[in-house]
A and B are shown apart, each in its own frame.
Chain A
Amino acid sequence: MNDQVNSRNVTTDRGANLTIYEDPAIGDTIPKMFWSRVRDWSDRVIIREKDFGIWQAITWAELGARARHVGMALQSIGFGQGDVVCVLSNNKPEWVYADMGTLGLGGVCAGIYPTDAPSQVAYLVNDSRCSVIFVEDEEQLDKVLQVRDQCPTLRRIVIFDMEGLRELDDPMCASLEAFMAAGAAHDAANPGAWDAALDLAKPDDLAVLVYTSGTTGPPKGAMLSHRNVIFQCVNGTRVLPEGGDDERLAFLPMCHVAERVLGCYYALYSGAVSNFIENPDTVPENVREVQPTVFGAVPRVWEKFYSGIMVALSDATPLQRWAYEKAIGIGYRVADLRLAGDPVPAPLQWRFKLAHFLVLRNIRRMIGIERCRWLVTGAAPISPELIRWYLALGVDMLEVYGQTECTGLATAMHPGEIKPGTIGRSVPYAEVALSPEGEILLRGDHVFMGYLNQPEKTAETIRDGWLHTGDVGEIDNQGFVKITDRMKDIIITAGGKNITPSEIENELKFSPYIADAVVIGDARKYLTCLIMIDHENVEKYAQDNDVPFTNFTSLTRAPEVTKLIGAEVEKANTKFARVETIKQFRLIEHQLDPEDEELTPTMKLKRKFVNEKYSGLIESMYQTA
């Protein structure tokens, strides 16, 4: 790390002591930071991408040149400061070229999920007043062409991958290659123009638009300034330390704040290498190939890895199973001592080393986390049991919390003080507090500028300088924050009991057979639950137990599967008080896909949609009583 970094201690009006780092050498805007890195680290690798089966490296110099050509091409068509670019693509290095090219001109860059429908694309283009859109390929292009008549601000479409589009002849469209060539020509004809543009952006200007999937109403564009992002980069990479020797996997959607800021921008600041996955289906293979050294993901991914190992074990030989039980048992003992803050006695340490050498190491390698210095989980609640399992494997899993509105990170655990069930303590550079109603409040330079075009929503969210997160929680005397639920998700049963569904749901999701669950019970006599089964694992169970089925629907209808899930629900029920137990459940019969409105792009069930769409099924659970 750079030794020019300054730190200062601040005591707030509430008496909180903050430690804030500043790194003047990198400047105060994203383009300045990016170009200082390009200058200083030009020969180092920053991105890797798999091309025809081989991981190809891209250096800072190459990345810089490409971003500059994109930027100059934008300038040549009259795109300037404050104008908006949208990127409609899966994660690819081209995403970063477009992003850095746009920001270099003082422009604004927003991501659109590649799973969004054409009508949603039109909404986002219009809401952001986007003038240039970058699309991944033919499929994404067709979405834009379908709705461009409804998008008056849109002037240009740039396509990353021209496969199948050789004959495309449309004055509005250009390939990225041709676009960048035009940019290079414009650059040559206008020396000095690029460097002048880099100075345009000011720290408090809007830089990044992140649309948050609204469970109610249309998505809201959260505005992040250069200051927000730089503040997070300089400080956040000290909470989750990473540097030029680290390898990470760029696999969460770039449209999400987690990948955009905590992943991509952190890496651009720290120099960690971003390895871009081939596509969302190849994550497990890509993790094994890359063997990252730092790894942030959502609980769904950690659950998948875990159930993958559990299923592999059920096919293992008795000797292998015995070895696993022994080794993980030792791992759990070490983990529990660490969690309690007690020292690990030397003999146990030795046994753990042996267990690691003989067994646990292989499991870690199978998942792809053997080299990981830390794992981070966030964006959704995770079962404490799962954290304990990763600790038993000997890798630190740190839970973090944040949201788009605080530029991604607000609380985090530290390797020395892991406390499952909490989301760690406040980051040292900003404040966390509770409102009288128990809502979690945040304050600091990471709090966003507001929602685009929605001043009333902004005023509701930021009050007296505090960001109101909408999450309800507690803070213990050591400063550990615990989230109990989303404010609006809290269930009040007909009996008047307040219940936080996510705790129960997490317990259910810990089962390898349950992919996701939604607990229902607001104003009802008892709790019920809709369950989305884990296709692969349930299918395997059915095969192993000779349960006949044909497709997904028939699998969910098999009485044996209902029994299996019933047993899993009962298992979860034992951990809760009587009023909090699930009395009835139903399985969702369709295999859901991120393109379905019931799921978020990160494959979580949307409570609101599920409640509406399956109202018949839900009612059926209350009729029998």
Chain B
Amino acid sequence: MSEPLLKVSNIETYYGPIMAIRGVSLEVPQGRIVTVLGANGAGKTTILKTISGVMDPRKGTVLFDGREVTRQNPDWIMRQGICHVPEGREVFPFLTVRENLIMGAYTRNDRAAIARDIDMAFDYFPVLKERADQRAGQLSGGEQQMLVISRALMGEPKLLLLDEPSLGLSPILVKQIFEIIGRINRERNVTMLLVEQNAHMALSTADYGYVLEVGRIVMEDDCKALMEKEDIQEFYLGVKDEGVRGKRRWKRKKLWR
């Protein structure tokens, strides 16, 4: 196997005295979508923040494209080709949609290419074109999500870190956005690390998945195989054996195998 585009080894990240990531190793091969599943507080976002340099790990290394990016500042890491789409649709609310996109290209100065990429973004998300001159703060939640993904693409990333793109969106919008994420991956050959709570969407979009629980990886496999596992079905996909009484409330103990 060729060297993966991103290789995270043994990272430990703390919030003050609290250890949020307790030794996580994962790999994202070139051209693939890899997903990290996990409940609230499992440490999914912290992993992305550690990769993009927003937080520094106390231990472990992050190798990107064969080069160590651990403990570098976020700007430098972004210039290496890692763009982070943070959770919660962080647009610049008082800038227009177009200005937001231009902000995403802040490291570039090839005007023609930037204009072409803006058109490309409008191709993926036609609704953004309609709203091009509106302030981003006035967009709907789904449109804002589209905008932040597009803005990240403006940085010409080799690796896109997506933090819960489905958060707070209607099911139909979630479906659309995931379709486009899949297209961007195929058409633009952008490798992706996708963090999600919506396990169903994530597993059907991604190629490979890791399951994170309280800062540790408890399971990893091809997404197809993951979907077959009993624990994943019960705890992440909501497939439930209702039991003899037809209303079982207790949860089986997770065994992760």
Chain A residues with a Cβ under 8 A of chain B = 137-139, 142, 145-146, 164, 167-168, 539, 542-543, 546-552, 554, 590-591, 593, 595
Chain B, 130-189, CB within 8 A of any chain A CB: none
Chain A neighbourhood of B256, CB < 8 A = 551-552, 591
Q: Closest approach, in angstroms, between the C-beta of B10 and any C-beta of chain A?
A: 5
- Residue B15 is within 8 A (CB to CB) of chain A in the complex: no
Q: Which residues of A contact B223 (CB under 8 A)?
A: none
Contact segment of B79-87, B106-114, B193-201, B246-254:
B246-254
The answer to whether B218 touches A546 (Cβ under 8 A) is no
Least CB distance, B225 to chain A, in whole angstroms: 13
* Binding site secondary structure of chain A: loop
A548→B247 contact, CB < 8 A = no
Q: What residues on B are CB-neighbors of A591 within 8 Å?
A: 255-257
Q: Which of B12, B23, B59, B250 contacts A138 (CB 8 A)?
A: B250
Q: In the complex, what residue of chain A is closest to B250 when comparing beta carbons?
A: A139
Contacts of A550 in B (CB 8 A): 24-26, 210, 217, 220
Docked complex Cα distance between A409 and B115 (Å): 85
Q: Are B248 and A549 in contact (CB under 8 A)?
A: no
Q: How far is the CA of A552 from the CA of B243 in the complex (A)?
A: 30
CA distance A137 to B243 in the complex (A): 14
* 0/1 interface trace, chain B 216-229, chain A, CB 8 Å (1 if under): 11111000000000
**B220→A145 contact, CB < 8 A:** no
What is the bound-complex CA distance between A549 and B219, given in angstroms?
11
**A551 adjacent to B9 (CB under 8 Å):** no
- A-side contacts of B217, CB under 8 Å: 550-551
Q: Please, which residues of chain A bring their CB within 8 A of the CB of B245?
A: 142, 145, 168
Residue pair B220, A551 in contact (C-beta under 8 Å): yes
Within 8 Å of chain A (Cβ to Cβ): is B18?
no
Q: Nearest Cβ in chain A — how far from B207, in angstroms?
A: 16
Is B244 in contact with chain A by the CB < 8 A criterion?
yes
Residue pair A543, B23 in contact (C-beta under 8 Å): yes
Residues of chain B contacted by A142 (CB below 8 angstroms): 243-245, 248, 250
Query: Min CB distance, B42 to chain A, in Å?
Result: 14
List 15 A–B pairs whose Cβ atoms lie within 8 Å, in order of A's numbering: A138-B248, A145-B244, A543-B12, A546-B9, A546-B60, A547-B10, A548-B9, A549-B23, A550-B26, A550-B217, A551-B217, A591-B256, A591-B257, A593-B253, A595-B253
**CA of A81 to CA of B225 in the docked complex: distance in angstroms?**
55
- Residues of B near any A CB (own CB < 8 A): 9-10, 12, 22-26, 59-60, 210, 216-220, 243-245, 247-250, 253, 255-257
Whether A543 touches B248, Cβ cut-off 8 Å, given contacts A548-B9, A551-B220, is: no
List 6 additional A-B contacts (Cβ < 8 Å) besides A543-B12, A551-B216, A551-B217.
Answer: A145-B245, A539-B23, A543-B59, A548-B10, A548-B25, A551-B256
Closest B residue by C-beta to A539: B23
Contact residues in B for A543 (Cβ distance below 8 Å): 10, 12, 22-23, 59
- B257 near A167: Cβ-Cβ < 8 Å: no
CB B175 to nearest CB in A, in angstroms, measures 30
Q: Taking A168-B245, A551-B220 as contacts, is the C-beta distance between A137 and B250 under 8 angstroms?
A: yes
Query: How distant is B212 from chain A, measured CB to nearest CB, in Å?
Result: 10
| Distance from B244 Cβ to chain A, minimum over Cβ atoms (Å) | 4
Closest beta carbon of chain A to B119's beta carbon, Å: 41
* A-side contacts of B220, CB under 8 Å: 550-551, 554
* Contact partners of B26 in chain A: CB under 8 A: 550
How many angstroms from the CA of A168 to the CA of B244 in the assembled complex?
A: 12
Task: Report the 5 A-B pairs with minimum CB-CB distance, sorted nearest first.
Answer: A164-B249, A548-B25, A139-B250, A543-B23, A550-B217
| Chain A positions within 8 Å of B23 at CB level | 539, 542-543, 549
Residue of B nearest to A173 (CB): B245
Q: How far is the CB of A370 from chain B (nearest CB, A)?
A: 26
Compute how far the CA of A494 lies from the CA of B24 in the bound complex, rounded to whole angstroms: 45
CA distance A168 to B248 in the complex (A): 11
Question: B25–A549 contact, CB under 8 A?
Answer: yes
Whether the Cβ atoms of A146 and B218 lie closer than 8 Å is no
Residue of B nearest to A138 (CB): B250
Give the docked Cα–Cα distance between A139 and B253 (Å). 11
In the bound assembly, the distance between CA atoms of A546 and B8 in angstroms comes to 11
CB distance from B214 to the nearest CB of A (A): 13
A103 to chain B, nearest CB (A): 30
Q: Which residue of B lies closest to A595 (CB)?
A: B253
Report B5 CB to chain A, min CB distance, Å: 16
A528 to B38, CA, bound (A): 39
The answer to whether A138 touches B249, judged by C-beta atoms less than 8 angstroms apart, is: yes
Would you give the shortest CB distance from A235 to chain B, in whole angstroms?
A: 40
A167/B25 in contact, CB under 8 A: no
B123 to chain A, nearest CB (A): 37
CB nearest neighbor in B for A168: B245
Q: How distant is the Cα of A549 from the Cα of B210 in the complex, in angstroms?
A: 12
Give the complex CA separation of A539 and B256 in angstroms: 16
CB-defined contacts of A595 to chain B, threshold 8 Å? 253, 255
CB distance from B208 to the nearest CB of A (A): 11
How far apart are the CA atoms of A88 and B36 in the complex, in Å? 38
CB distance from B245 to the nearest CB of A (A): 6
Cβ contact within 8 Å between A146 and B248: no
Q: In the complex, A620 Cα to B180 Cα: how many Å?
A: 49
CB closest residue in chain B, given A548: B25
Instruction: Assess whether A590 is in contact with B250, with CB atoms less than 8 Å apart.
Output: no
For residue B244, which residue of chain A has the nearest CB?
A: A145
Cross-chain contact of B247 among A139, A167, A552, A590 (Cβ < 8 A): A167
Question: Which chain A residue shows the least CB distance to B249?
Answer: A164
* Chain A residues near B257 (CB-CB < 8 A): 590-591
Q: Which residues of A contact B247 (CB under 8 A)?
A: 167
A593 touching B255 in the complex, CB below 8 Å, given contacts A549-B25, A551-B217, A551-B218:
yes
- A146 CB, nearest partner CB in chain B, Å: 5
**Which residues of B lie under 8 Å from residue A593 when comparing CB positions?**
253, 255
Closest to B218 in A: A551
A548 to B9, CA, bound (A): 6
Check B219–A551 contact: CB distance below 8 A. Answer: yes
CA distance A145 to B246 in the complex (A): 11
Bound Cα distance from A551 to B229, whole angstroms: 15
Q: Please measure, in the bound complex, the distance between the C-alpha atom of A145 and the C-alpha atom of B9, giving whole angstroms.
A: 47
Instruction: Give the chain B neighbours of A164 by CB distance below 8 A.
Output: 249-250
Please name all residues of chain A whose beta carbon is closer than 8 Å to the beta carbon of B244 when the two chains form the complex.
142, 145-146
Complex: A548 Cα to B61 Cα, angstroms: 10
Chain A, residue nearest B210 (CB) = A550
B26 to chain A, nearest CB (A): 7
Tell me the smallest distance from the CB of B203 to a CB of chain A, in Å: 17
Min CB distance B150 to A, Å, is 32
In the bound complex, CA of A539 to CA of B218 (Å): 12
B25's nearest neighbour on chain A, judged by CB, is A548
Q: Which residues of A contact B25 (CB under 8 A)?
A: 548-550
A617 → chain B, closest Cβ, in Å? 16
Cα(A167)–Cα(B248), bound, Å? 12
Specify which of B26, B218, B245 lies most central, judged by the most chain A CB atoms within 10 Å of its CB.
B245
Q: How far is the CA of A166 from the CA of B216 in the complex (A)?
A: 36
CA–CA, A341 and B26, complex, Å: 57
The residue in A139, A168, A551, A552 that gathers the most chain B C-beta atoms within 10 A of its C-beta is A551
In angstroms, Cα B59 to Cα A516, docked, is: 30
Tell me, in angstroms, the Cα distance from A139 to B241 when the chains sit together: 13
Separation in Å of the A197 CB from the closest CB of chain B?
34
Shortest distance from the beta carbon of B144 to any chain A beta carbon, whole Å: 34
- Report A-chain residues with C-beta under 8 Å of the C-beta of B60: 546
Q: Which residues of chain B come closer than 8 Å to A546, judged between CB atoms?
A: 9-10, 59-60
Q: Report Cα–Cα, A258/B55, bound state, in Å.
A: 51
Contacts of B249 in A (CB 8 A): 138, 164
CA distance A591 to B26 in the complex (A): 20
How long is the Cα–Cα vector from A142 to B9 in the complex, in angstroms? 43
Smallest CB separation, B122 vs chain A (Å): 39
User: Considering the chains assembled together, what is the distance between the CA atoms of A326 and B158 in angstroms?
Assistant: 56
Q: B97 → chain A, closest Cβ, in Å?
A: 40
